[in-house]
Amino acid sequence: MLRAEALTKRYGEVEALAGLELEVRPGEVYCLLGPNGAGKSTTMNLFLGFAAPTAGRAWVCGLDVQHHLLESKRHLAYIPEQVHLYPHLSGAENLEYFAGLGGSAVSGPEVTALLERVGLPAAAHHRRSGEYSKGMRQKVGLAIAVAKRARALLLDEPTSGLDPRASFEFSRLVRSMCDEGVAVLMATHDLFRARDLASRIGIMSAGRLVWEGGSGDLAGDDLERVYLEHVRRAAEEAAA
Amino acid sequence: MRPSLLRSQLRLLLREPTLRLGALVLLLCFGYALARGRAWTLTDAEQLARVQHDIDAEVAQKREEVADVEAGRVRAEERPFAGSPLDYRVAAALPPGPLAALATGQRDLAASVAEVSLWGRSDTVLTRQSLADPEQLQAGTFDAAFVVVYLLPLLVIGLTFDLLAGERERGTLRLVLSQPISPAGFLLAKFAARLVVLLALLGLFGVAAAVTLGTGVTVALLAWLAVAAVYALFWSALAFAVNTRRRSSAANAMTLAGAWVSLVLLLPAAINTVVEQALPLPSRMVLVGELRAAENRAAAWIHDHPELTGDDAFAWARGYYRVQRTIEEETAPRFAAFAAQLEARTELVRASSWVSPPVLVHEALSELAGTGPARHTAFGAQVLAFVDSLRAEMAPRLYAGRRLAAVEYDALPRFRFVEEEPAQVAVRLVPPLGLLVVASAGLLLWGVLRLRRGEPPVSGPDVG
Amino acid sequence: MIGRIVRHELRSAWRDGRILTVVVLTLGLLAVAVIVGATNVRALQAQREEAAALERANWLEQGPKNPHGAAHFGQYAFKPISGLALFDRGVDRYLGSAVWLEAHRQNTLVHRPADDAPAVQRFGDLTAANILQVIGPLLALLLTFAAIAGERERGTLRLLVSQGVRPQALVLGKLAAAMLVLAPLLLVALLSAAALAGANGLPYVGLLALGYGLYLGCFAALNLAISARARTSSAALVGSLALWVAAVVAVPRIASDIAAWACPTPSEHDFFAQVARDIKQGINGHDPKDSRTEALKAELLARYDVKTVEQLPVNFAGVALQAGEEYGDRVYDRRYGELYAIYRRQADLRLALALLSPRLALQPLSAALCGTDLAAHREFAAAAEEHRRALVRRLNEDVTQHPGASPFKYLAGPELWRELGELRRDDADPSPADLRGLAILAALFLLATSLALASARRLHVDP
């Protein structure tokens, strides 16, 4: 569903991504871990077509992103780290607007149903979104993704800054989408959330995938140990 | 572009507080300008009617005098000057056009009524002792043309300076462009939504003008609105092109404000300066001195030729008339040079209006309202032609000492202004306006191509 | 503390390429405007000299004439051009440049430069005054719009305040720095203008500098107030630009429009028709010209104790002419007085509206100091009228002193023409009568500064 094929991105001298190979299958949640600057956001940008790869390809539902910039986005939903909405519109209006842009117009009862599904309190549906908390905005972002009936979902640090309860609710919703056959690629710093949600986990460092494994391969504190070890090793290699 | 995209952008735009405030201010300005223009035009028309009436009344009185002499009610010796051709006067008026309320143009400055008779000379017939408040003339009137030329671009800029940059700075752009929509398509939809609103505002103003002025929807009004629309299109296209640079909204605002200052304030002033420096006019003050020298010479000559004046009741009038014609003949080359230089100036300004949209649009809006320089120039020329025809009719009587009979008064020439053919106006205005449309299209195309090149503008200049 | 802030701001402005570019461009524009202005004023002054010499010759060479004929020929007087007109043409373009001084009539000046200018002149003049009035505030805007909002966005405001910098000191420092950047621009423009205008321009340069300084200071302080309150520097920019457009472009136009609406100026037709009526029927409408002449005749006959005008030792025509002249003078004094009262009310109204736009206070002040305002024009017109009355009186006296059977057969010659001089007013020193604009500008500047300080007092350090 989502596939990176020798995906490489250079900004001048800096290699942000070096020959990434990755595949996320339908119904799977793939968590990308790694320190800042490891290449997680670059990966997201390449799948979204926000940046052009220096080499390699990004595939969405069998479409090469670079050659099908618009079509590939029909199948792709994206929730950025900070969901920014139009502050003078309500959550419902934002949903209507973005869903319309996505080519899946929704109205009236559908909007209410979607917002209820993501757990936005009914009283907030028609309030200015400028007054929303971050968690509420993330929920609207999720509702936009759901409305699109996308087959792949990109999540960029979606739970950072959310309180544990909001974070939990968010995970539950992602899982429910996953159960419907959506492929999810999630970049995160939250090891706990990754272990809880992921079917598979990849650790990135300095633009490379340095470890990959199923969540079943690990137990207890293993993930933290593996993560720190790989990140340290990568840093040593870079220094040498 | 999908129609649904335009619809959604339009809905979004209509919710924007900036638009509501801007549209309100623009409509208030238009409303004030319209009310003021209408009041001013009514006063203007009343004034013309009063001048006409006063002059007609005076001539009617002269006619009565002649009738009294003819009927023997008064002895001819008591009214030696009755029926003198020198006393016949007629008002030559340039009526305000039906749309004069929309643009003051040159009407507050140039003469729109002249008193024509055998008195004076062609250089004095349009010279007036104006009492108009100079501060008001310098500031200019707050007419609808001012609202269009100066303020409309500012609304355009206010609505468009942050089309992309604003979305980027507010953080909504990433979510937007993760939808299946190209940056160019998105920007075009936003642009089109704004243009639709601007055109709607202009349309609203057009309806208000048609109702207030009682003209109904005329070709001239539609053309006036179309010129304003072309101007709005130009500024929108410029703003569109500026938006395709990956700069901050503050930088865009600064660039567009700079463009506005340069195009609307500085360039016209520079054109004015260049025209005045490149094509200096002969000094009016020196011309006055020369006219007076010619008057001295002509008076001496006529003094030496008493046979030209005769010794009847009209002798003085004959002498005066001959002196004036002699002065005219002697100074004709000076005035011809003056007129040629004025004409050259007009040409230069017209040429420069190809590169200065505000100058072009201001002239077009004034011409369509019937207050432009061309109409006033035409009026001046027609008045001079009328003066000639009046002289041709009256001078032989003066020379022969023939009084005007009472019945003749009614058949004497009257002035009627002949409007320029609309086709001629179109020939003059359409090519540069067409160029403006082409330039706007070019700016749009350039912007679209620039957006297509390179990566989507999701990150600004300060983000790697 | 403030000194340190000022130094820091000046260094930043110097390093900011945009500000430097705009300052240099403005200087270039000012240089062009001053040079073009100086060329124009010199040319106008030379043309005026030439015309005045020509006119003097015309008067002297008019040949033998009855003095009343000479009064009808009259003299033309040409308005002198103030040297500082090269800096600010004021309303000069919209006022006449020559006046015909003739018997019976007090004419207004004709031949306004604007009459012959292309329509594009209505967009404004490229004079140094206009550039400073329009572009000057924009420069102030560039220097100040991000002053507080930008520091807040970058997070440096929090740092500054935590260092113990009082927000009011910060605002005052930034204001002083902006003024110090603008000051050289102002001084260069004014001093070069004064140098080119000749010595008689110098006394007014100080007042001009003060007026323009206060004007630019108003904008700088208001922009700082906006910057302190705006959420982002982008919002501050838009707010300051809106203020600039309103104060510099829109309000002056609306103000003069409102003034013209509130106190309409009569048309020349109505005005001169009223004057003619007054003279013919008497100012009160019950004293027609014929009966005034009859009364004068009766009075003279009684005074000299004779039966007919032919027996009078003086020429009755001359006496009657002068009496008519004096009656006309009363009419003109009254009607022109009314007209000038209208102009004054309009000017007062505009000045009252200066609360909304400092430009409304600066414009008349600048023109007054450069001798190109309506007051300077009226002063010339008054001198010309005084000259006309003296001229006509002397000519009427000459008629009076030559009684004869046929009153207008007497011819005077060159001796009389030579005796009557021309109007000599070559020194066009401005003598500004109305400096209220300066007081208003000072008040506005204080108001704007206290607004900025008030905003600083309630400063939010975080975005």
pLDDT digits (tens, 9 = 90+) for C169-194: 999 999 999 999 999 899 999 989 88
| B contacts of C245 (beta carbons < 8 Å) | 154
d(CA C67, CA C418): 13
Closest by alpha carbon to C79, among C348, C344, C315, C381? C381
d(CA C197, CA C370): 10
Closest by alpha carbon to B294, among B305, B304, B306, B302? B302
C94, B132: Cβ pair inside 8 Å?
yes
Residue C252 is predicted with a pLDDT of 94
Confidence of residue B196 (pLDDT cuts 50, 70, 90): very high
C115 lies in which domain range? 2-267+341-390+423-457
B 52-71: CB under 8 A from C:
54
Is C207 a member of any domain?
yes
| B contacts of A51 (beta carbons < 8 Å) | 455
Per-residue tokens: A135: 């968690």
pLDDT(B427) > 70: yes
The ranges assigned to domains in chain B are: 3-452
In this complex, which of B16, B170, B455 lies closest to A52 when CB atoms are compared? B455
In contact, A182 and A151? CB cutoff 8 Å: yes
Chain B, nearest residue to C145 by Cα: B250
CATH of A1-75+181-240, one of 3.40.5.10, 3.20.20.150, 3.40.50.10470, 3.40.50.300: 3.40.50.300
B177, A103: Cβ pair inside 8 Å?
no
DSSP C120: G
Contacts of B18-25 with CB under 8 Å at 24 or more apart are B18/B158, B18/B159, B19/B159, B19/B197, B22/B155, B22/B158, B22/B159, B23/B155, B23/B197, B23/B201, B25/B155
Per-residue tokens: B23: 């549209």
Residue C199 is predicted with a pLDDT of 63
pLDDT(B102) > 70: yes
Q: From chain A, which residues contact B within 8 Å (Cβ)? A: 11, 45, 48-52, 69-71, 73-74, 76-78, 80, 82-89, 93, 97-98, 100-103, 105, 141, 144, 148, 154
Comparing A213 with B239, which gets the higher pLDDT?
B239
- Output phi, psi for B115, to 5 deg: -95, 115
pLDDT(B463) > 50: no
B248 touches chain C (CB under 8 A): yes
The ranges assigned to domains in chain A are: 1-75+181-240
| A contacts of B460 (beta carbons < 8 Å) | none
The torsion defined by the Cα of A49, A51, A56 and A57, in degrees rounded to 10, comes to 0
- B-C contacts at Cβ under 8 angstroms: 221
As a whole number, mean pLDDT of residues B141-158 equals: 95
B373 touches chain C (CB under 8 A): yes
Closest by alpha carbon to A7, among A202, A177, A190? A202
d(CA B411, CA B432): 45
Task: Name the pairing type of β-strands C98-101 and A152-156.
Answer: unpaired
Cα within 13 Å of Cα(C63), Cβ side: 11
At a CB cut-off of 8 Å and minimum separation 6, what does A93 contact?
A: A86, B15
Residue C405 is predicted with a pLDDT of 62
B456 touches chain A (CB under 8 A): yes
Using 70 as the pLDDT threshold, list the residues of chain C that sit under it.
Answer: 199-201, 405, 407, 426-430
| B contacts of C237 (beta carbons < 8 Å) | 250, 253-254
B174 touches chain A (CB under 8 A): yes
Confidence of residue B227 (pLDDT cuts 50, 70, 90): very high
| pLDDT tens digits, A158-206 | 888 788 888 888 888 888 888 989 999 999 888 888 888 888 999 998 8
Comparing B436 with B421, which gets the higher pLDDT?
B436
Per-residue tokens: B138: 């310098």
d(CA C49, CA C426): 9
| C contacts of B135 (beta carbons < 8 Å) | 91, 256, 259, 346-347, 350, 364, 374
| pLDDT tens digits, B362-394 | 999 999 999 999 999 999 999 999 999 999 999
Q: Bridge partners of C65? A: C412
Chain C, nearest residue to B363 by Cα: C119
Confidence of residue B464 (pLDDT cuts 50, 70, 90): very low
Residue A115 is predicted with a pLDDT of 92
- Output phi, psi for A141, to 5 deg: -55, -40
Comparing B116 with C432, which gets the higher pLDDT?
B116
B273, C259: Cβ pair inside 8 Å?
no
Closest by alpha carbon to B458, among B181, B249, B163, B183? B183
Residue B179, classed as helix, strand or coil, is: coil
Cα within 13 Å of Cα(B192), Cβ side: 15
Helices C128-144 and C17-60, axial angle in degrees (round to 10)? 170
Give partners of A (≥3 CB pairs < 8 A): B
Q: In Å, how far is B154's CA from the nearest CA of chain A?
A: 23
| pLDDT tens digits, B60-69 | 999 999 999 9
As a whole number, mean pLDDT of residues B409-415 equals: 88
d(CA B432, CA B420): 19
Residue A187 is predicted with a pLDDT of 92
CA B85 to chain CA centroid, Å, is: 36
As a whole number, mean pLDDT of residues B442-447 equals: 94
Q: Rounded mean pLDDT of chain B?
A: 91
In contact, C105 and C133? CB cutoff 8 Å: no
- Output phi, psi for A38, to 5 deg: -75, -20
Least confident of A68-82, B255-269, C213-227: A68-82
B 175-204: CB under 8 A from A:
175-182, 186
d(CA B292, CA C58): 6
The residue among A84, A94, A134 with the most chain B CBs within 10 A of its CB, best to mutate, is A84
Based on the structure, what is the number of domains in chain C? 1
B293 touches chain C (CB under 8 A): yes
pLDDT(B459) > 80: no
d(CA B402, CA B50): 31
Chain B, nearest residue to C116 by Cα: B342
Give partners of B (≥3 CB pairs < 8 A): A, C
pLDDT(B162) > 50: yes
Residue C223, classed as helix, strand or coil, is: helix
pLDDT(A14) > 80: yes
